[in-house]
Amino acid sequence: MSDDEHGGKQMSSFLIKKGDYLCTLALTHSQGMEYNKAKGFYMQAAGWYKKAGATDKMNDALRKAKAEDEKAKNAPPPEV
């Protein structure tokens, strides 16, 4: 195996782990009813997945971002 092939696999693995981490952050913010932050993290994750070529994970993150957007639209206004 050449260094390029190994390096490409390492890079792809890193990009996917970065996306997974961002999805975990998004879930935490979603549970705290911070839907716009969660949406942003899912969108960032989708970008990392796209760079890694992980189309299924990218589509899943985009679907979750859309769901967070809907939650944000339907959420009651924050109390002052």
| pLDDT confidence of residue 5 | 63
pTM, full prediction: 0.86
Region of 33 (left: φ > 0; alpha: ψ -120 to 50; beta: rest) is left
Domain boundaries, the chain: 15-71
| pLDDT confidence of residue 70 | 94
- Confidence label for 6 from pLDDT (cuts 50, 70 and 90): low
Residues 6+ positions from 15 with CB-CB distance below 8 Å: 48, 49, 51, 52, 54
- Asked if CATH classification 1.10.10 holds for the domain at 15-71, the reply, yes or no, is no
| pLDDT confidence of residue 59 | 98
Residues 6+ positions from 23 with CB-CB distance below 8 Å: 41, 42, 45, 61, 64
